[in-house]
Amino acid sequence: MLSTEVTKRLKIKYPIIQAPMAGGITTSQLVAAVSNSGGLGMIGAGYLTPAQLREQIREVKELTLNHFGVNVFVPGEFTISQNGIDFANEKLQSIKNHLNIADDSFQLPDARKLMETFHEHMEIVIEEKVPVCSFTFGIPSKEVISRLKEHQMILIGTATTVREALENQENGMDMVVVQGSEAGGHRGNFSNSHQESLIGLMSLIPQAVDCVRIPVIAAGGIMDGRGVMAAICLGAKAVQMGTAFLTCQESGAHRLHKEAILQSDEDQVILTRAFSGKWARGINNQFISTMHENEASFPAFPVQNTLTQSIRKTAAAQNNPDYMSLWSGQSPRLAKSLTAEELIQDIMLQVKNIIFD
């Protein structure tokens, strides 16, 4: 029942990819543990500087001889409006006061600089001979894609609809992750609007599989062998799991973030755009509920993300989960506190049991 189309190409034993989670979650220990256990570890490079990315790639190489990958955000266009910033800052001020944030200096994002960093990231993955590169929030330019392909890199795109999956295929991606509405963290939609791209995996996988030729990798709410087998029955060739690895012991997620997931129910995980200006799924808390009525009016990503940075950082430092971004998919009841190796072994044991049931 298990196809080897993706595992052979990625040179991994099991059809399990650890989702790239930016912001310090995908430590070198986590990435290497996943790759050493038969899956594909992924570095979430979204918020890393070029120097940090190079350092982490080298660190991972020290820890594993197996294949691993790097994920980058494709920079999009955004406008900066002083009115929008003032509006958001006014709404955020009472929280900043509550957390005693005195120094609230921040640097507004610079589109040109973000694009420069993106290109530097691309040069680093080439120089460091990283075998797999995946993309979120868009598709890179044809020039970038052909340059990476010249170096035999395997390219994986992200899609939330069949249309986006087709766009990834047409632009030369070797595989595509379809992100179901169940997924935690940021929505990866780049061409459809938010509501229209919230497709559950039960619908998204088979419709994507019927329309694209490249292998489909399923992401969203998958936590165990049952989810892996379900995704494969629907036509996916592999799965990408975020939340399941976030609560693993090697993950760099804040202790309170892990605990919040381990203690949450599925109906406490909701969508918000108040943290970053992009819709994302996480555990409901004081920040989300306070900001709910204004969230539609906040500036777009990455502007809003910059404006809430001091709140997220201070809350984390103060061990206050009320104002942290507690990203999670819709299956928190299935989360466990294991090592990445134990998790992968558990999953594959369950897969075997289902196949031979």
Q: Which residues bind its own copies (CB under 8 A)?
A: 1, 161-163, 180-182, 192, 195-204, 206-207, 210-211, 220-224, 226-227, 229-231, 233-235, 265-268, 270-271, 284, 329-331, 333-334, 354, 357
Distance CA 150, CA 3 (A): 27
Residue given tokens 């598709």 in the structure block? 139
* DSSP 8-state assignment for residue 160: S
Distance CA 81, CA 92 (A): 17
Min dist. Cβ of residue 272 to its own copies (A): 10
Q: Where are the beta strands (DSSP E) in the chain?
A: 16-18, 41-44, 68-73, 132-136, 154-159, 175-179, 185-186, 216-219, 238-241, 269-272, 280-283
Distance CA 245, CA 254 (A): 13
Nearer residue to its own copies within complex by CB, 161 or 310 = 161
The neighbouring-strand residues paired with 318 are: none
Contacts of 339 (CB under 8 A, 6+ apart): 33, 248, 249, 250
Min dist. Cβ of residue 70 to its own copies (A): 26
β 132-136/68-73 pair status: parallel
Nearer residue to its own copies within complex by CB, 89 or 192 = 192
Nearer residue to its own copies within complex by CB, 138 or 220 = 220
Nearer residue to its own copies within complex by CB, 207 or 249 = 207
- Residue 159 backbone dihedrals phi, psi, to 5 degrees: -140, 150
Nearer residue to its own copies within complex by CB, 17 or 45 = 17
Min dist. Cβ of residue 331 to its own copies (A): 4
Nearer residue to its own copies within complex by CB, 181 or 276 = 181
Min dist. Cβ of residue 333 to its own copies (A): 5
Min dist. Cβ of residue 181 to its own copies (A): 5
Nearer residue to its own copies within complex by CB, 72 or 217 = 217
The neighbouring-strand residues paired with 134 are: 71, 156
Q: Are 353 and 225 in contact (CB under 8 A)?
A: yes
Distance CA 20, CA 285 (A): 24
Q: Are 99 and 35 in contact (CB under 8 A)?
A: no
What string of DSSP letters covers 31-67? HHHHHHTTSBEEEE-TT--HHHHHHHHHHHHHH-SS-
Min dist. Cβ of residue 6 to its own copies (A): 16
Min dist. Cβ of residue 9 to its own copies (A): 20
Min dist. Cβ of residue 281 to its own copies (A): 11
Asked if residue 131 has a cis previous peptide bond (ω within 30° of 0), the answer is no
Min dist. Cβ of residue 203 to its own copies (A): 4
Tell me whether residue 240 is exposed, middle or buried, using C-beta atoms within 10 angstroms of its C-beta: 0 to 12, 13 to 18, 19 or more: buried
Residue 243 corresponds to which amino acid?
Answer: T
Nearer residue to its own copies within complex by CB, 41 or 227 = 227
Nearer residue to its own copies within complex by CB, 243 or 306 = 243
Nearer residue to its own copies within complex by CB, 154 or 246 = 246
Min dist. Cβ of residue 209 to its own copies (A): 8
